[in-house]
A and B are shown apart, each in its own frame.
Chain A
C-alpha cells in the first residue's frame, strides 16, 4: 500500500507521519497517534462519536482520510483542555450530568466546542439542531442540551472578563 508523508498540526503540535493513503483519520488518530478519544460507532458518519475539529470545522473522522489532513490544523478531545484547565464544555458536561457511558462524549464535546463558536448564544432548538449529527444512547440529550447552554454562559462570561 502506498505510503505518504502527512504533515499537520495536531492538538497544537506539528507532526509529520508516514501513512497509508487509505488510512482513515480515525484509525490514524487512534492507532498511530494513540489518541483514543475519538471513538468508532458506525463508520458511516451517522453517530458522530469520532467528531474532531479540522481547520475550524466539525468533521467525522471515520469517513475522512488521514492524507486529507495534510497541512491542516486538527484538534481532538485530548487537545481541548489547555494548560491543565478544562474547557468550558468539558466542565459543563460534568456539572450538568451530560454523559453516562461516555462513548459519545468526545464527539459531543468536539461538536459543542465548534458549535458554540458558530453560535455564541444559541436557543434550545438551535442547540438540538446543532448537535443532531451526534447520537447518544444514554442521556436522552436533555442534560447535554443543559450542558451546552451552561457552557455558552461560561464562555460569554470568560469573554467579557477578558474584554
Chain B
C-alpha cells in the first residue's frame, strides 16, 4: 500500500520552518554537560595566564619587581608593558578611535587595570605568582565624577593625549574631553522652545552597569611556530572582526589567524570588545610557542571588562497646552572611563542615541553628547541593546511621563496624541532616521484592554485615598521604538569594515544542507532559527540543516552578534542566499520536468508543473540532479553565498505595562504584573521569542531595580562580586506576561526586525515609570535608578509618607 499522500499543509508542518515553535537543536549538548565553552578547551602543553592588576585608580608605576614571581617553580614568564614595547603592543587601538593600554605603560588609569601578566604551568601557580609580583605606585588624584573631570583644573588623566586638540570625533576642548557629538537641528529645536506654551526639563542619571554574563571572558591562544599559524578560541561576539584586528596588531597574515568562538555562556554586549587579556595570551603564546589559556574570574570581569551606560542626561520637551510635543532637546555627559573603548559604528560615538525622539512625531529635535574621561574602566558597550538605544528610550519615555504629569494628562492619552500614526510610515524623524513600519495605536489599545487599564487606575485612586492602605501602587507605561540591525554600510562600519553580514548555504546531493553565517549565537538559538528560515525558503526540513557559526576559517566574514543584528542582517543574508539556490533549483527542475521555468509553481518543498499535480520535483530531487545531471550550461552543485548590506535599520517596537506595589514601611517593591507586547515583525520561532523576552525583561528588572557600579572617592569599585552586584534569582524575578502584534519590516526579505533586546530596552523605563507613578500624587516626577528597597525607603521618608 502506498503511504498516504501528505497535503501541502502537512508537508509544511514537517519542515518546521518559520513560525514553528521548534525545540532547540543546541540543547542536546547543553543538557548533557557537553557544551564546549572556552574554559573547557584543553590543549597539549597548555600554559595558564593570570593578570597582575592595579589596586589604585590613578597612579604612576615607579617600579615592578618580577624576581620573586619568576623564582616560583612552574612560572615561565612575567611580562609588563616594557616587554611589549619592542613589539609595539603595549597600547592597542580601540573600536572608538582611541587607544587603550594593553599593559599599563608608566601609569594606571583605573582600579584593576592590567599591569603585568604571569604565565605558569597551571592556574594555581599563576595565581600564586601574581601575588609575588611587586609593583610600587605613586598615587595620583582620582577623578570619578565626569562633571568634575571637565573642571579647568581637573587632573590630566590621559598624559599620552596631552596637547592633542583633535580626537577621532572632532575637536577636544579640555584635557579630559573625548568628543562632542550632535544630531538634529539646534536652530529648529530652539525655535520650538521659544514659542512653546509649555516646557518641561528633567535631569536623570542612567547608572553605570555591567552586562555580567554568567560565563566570564577568556581565551586559549595557540601559536604554531612551525606553520606560523595562530588559532585562538575566544569568548567573542564578533570573531571575524577580532581576526582582522589580531592580524593588524600581530603582523600575522589574516589567512594564518583563526579565531573560533565556541559555545558562549552569554554575551549581552560584554564580549564584543578586544580586551588586554586576549592580546596578552596571544603574545604569550607567540613568545613561548605553546598554547596559553586565560580565564578571568568574576571580580576581574565586573571590574575591568566593558561596562554599559553611565549617561548623565538633561532632557527638555516643549509642548502645547493640550500635550502635543513641539520640540525635544537633550544634553548628555557620557562617562567613558579611562579609554574610549565603546563598541559603536565608527561615525556614531554616541551610538544610535538619536533614536531618542522615540515613537513620537516630534517636529524639531536636537541632542548633544559629550564624552569624558574618568578613572574608571573603559567600555560603554550596548548591554543587551542596540548602541545607546536603551539610554535614548529611557530618556524619551521619562520625559513624556514628566510632561504628562505637568499637564495632568494620563500617560496613555499623551502617548496616543503624539504617536507616529500608521499612515505616516515610512516616517522620517527629526534626527534623520527613516522608521520602516509600525502600528503603535493598535498595540497600545491591545495592552490597555488586556490589563483593564481603567480598572487599575480606579484601584490606584482608591488606594491613594485610603490612609490605611499599607502600599503605594504605581502603574508604569512605556511605548518604545528601537533601532536595530546595524547597519547600512553607507553609514555604519567598524574599523572601516561595513556592517553587512553573510551566509553560505550548501545543499548536499541527498538533500540535507549545511549553512554558515558571520554571526555567533550566545544563547539566542541560531542553530534552530536560522535553519527554520532556510527550511521555509527551500523546502528542506530544518532537522537536516546544520548551522555553523563562529569559526573564521569556515564561516563567511560577518560583523557578529550584538545590537539585535543577527536576524535583521544575517537573517536577511540567509533568505537571500536561499533565494539564489532556489533560482538555480528552478532551472534544474524545469530541465528535469522538460518544461520552461515559467510553467513551474513552487509549493512548500517542490516545483510543480502548473495544472498538473502529478508532475513535480522536490528540492531533494533537484539537489541530487544538481550533482548528477545539471542542465547544459549550468555548473554542477547547489550552493550560494550572500553578503547582505541592509538598506536601512529595522524598528521593532513594544508596549509595556507594569504594576508595582511599594510597602510604605520598608520600601520593598513587588511587581504585581508586567505585561509586555512586542512587535518584532515576522516571527520565526514563537517559543524562542518568548524565551528571549523573558530573559530581556529579567535583565531589565535587574538594571532598574538593583544594578549599579558605585565608586568611592579613591576610585574603588564598591560592588564587583555577585554578593554586591545584583543578579536576580528566581525568587525576586517577576512572572512575565507576553503578547504581540506583527508589523513586518517592508525592506527586510522576510519582514523580521529582531527581538532579543526590546525587552531590556523597553522594560527599564517601565519599572521607573511605575515606581515614580507610585509617588506621582506627591508631585514626584522622577527618581533615579536603581530602585532598591533602601533608595525607595529613603524616598518615602523624604516625601513624608506615613505608614
Question: Footprint of B on A, CB under 8 Å?
Answer: 1, 20, 22-23, 27, 30-31, 34-44, 46-47, 49, 76-78, 80-81, 86, 90, 93-95, 97, 99-106, 109, 127-129, 131-145
Contact = CB atoms under 8 A, between A and B. Distances in A.
Contacts of A104: 214, 265
B266 A145 contact: no
B23 interface: yes
Contacts of A103: 35, 37, 213-215, 265-266
Contact of A77 (B32, B214, B697): B32
A38 B33 contact: yes
A20 B121 CA distance: 14
B455 interface: no
B733 A97 contact: no
Nearest to A100: B523
Interface in B734-770: 735-736
Contacts of B730: 127-129, 131-132, 134, 136, 141, 144-145
- Of B30, B37, B522, B722, most buried by chain A (CB within 10 Å of CB) is B30
Given A20-B124, A41-B298, A99-B31, A143 B26 contact: no
Nearest to A144: B730
Interface string B656-697: 000000000000000000000000000000011011101111
30 contacts: A22-B124, A34-B42, A36-B36, A39-B37, A39-B215, A40-B39, A42-B298, A42-B721, A44-B298, A78-B34, A93-B31, A97-B688, A101-B523, A102-B26, A102-B29, A102-B30, A102-B31, A102-B523, A103-B37, A105-B30, A129-B731, A134-B730, A135-B214, A136-B214, A137-B266, A138-B266, A140-B696, A140-B698, A142-B694, A142-B736
Nearest to B34: A37
Given A20-B124, A128-B730, A137-B727, A109 B214 contact: no
Interface of B: 23-24, 26-37, 39-40, 42, 122-124, 212-216, 263-266, 268, 295, 297-298, 522-525, 687-688, 690-692, 694-699, 721-723, 727, 729-731, 733, 735-736
Closest 6 CB pairs of A and B: A37-B33, A103-B265, A102-B30, A101-B523, A140-B698, A140-B694
B691 A36 contact: no
A47 B265 CA distance: 13
A18 B32 CA distance: 27
A86 B729 contact: no
A1 B121 CA distance: 14
Given A76-B33, A102-B26, A47 B214 contact: yes
Contact of B297 (A43, A80, A140, A142): A43
Contacts of A81: 32
Given A31-B42, A132-B731, 12 more contacts: A39-B215, A94-B27, A102-B31, A103-B215, A105-B30, A128-B729, A132-B729, A137-B695, A138-B691, A139-B691, A141-B729, A143-B691
B262 to A, nearest CB: 11
Contacts of A1: 124
Contacts of B31: 77, 86, 90, 93-94, 99, 102, 105, 109
A97 B33 contact: no
A76 B42 CA distance: 20
The main secondary structure of chain A at its interface with chain B is loop
Contacts of A106: 30, 33
Contacts of B35: 102-103, 105
A95 B266 contact: no
Contacts of B40: 30, 36
A44 B723 contact: yes
Contact of B215 (A77, A80, A86, A101): A101
B33 A36 contact: yes
B297 A100 contact: no
Contacts of B215: 39, 41, 101, 103
B266 A99 contact: no
A100 B27 CA distance: 8
Given A94-B24, A142-B736, A102 B298 contact: no
B33 A77 contact: yes
Nearest to B700: A140
Contacts of A34: 42
Contacts of A127: 730
A65 to B, nearest CB: 12
Contacts of A41: 214-216, 265, 298
A143 B699 CA distance: 15
A133 B727 CA distance: 11
A14 B462 CA distance: 67
A127 B731 CA distance: 9
A24 to B, nearest CB: 9
Nearest to A34: B42
Contacts of B690: 97
A135 B722 contact: yes
- Of B214, B298, B687, B691, most buried by chain A (CB within 10 Å of CB) is B214
A111 to B, nearest CB: 11
B123 A46 contact: no
Contacts of A27: 123
B735 A142 contact: yes
A36 B122 CA distance: 17
Nearest to B28: A94
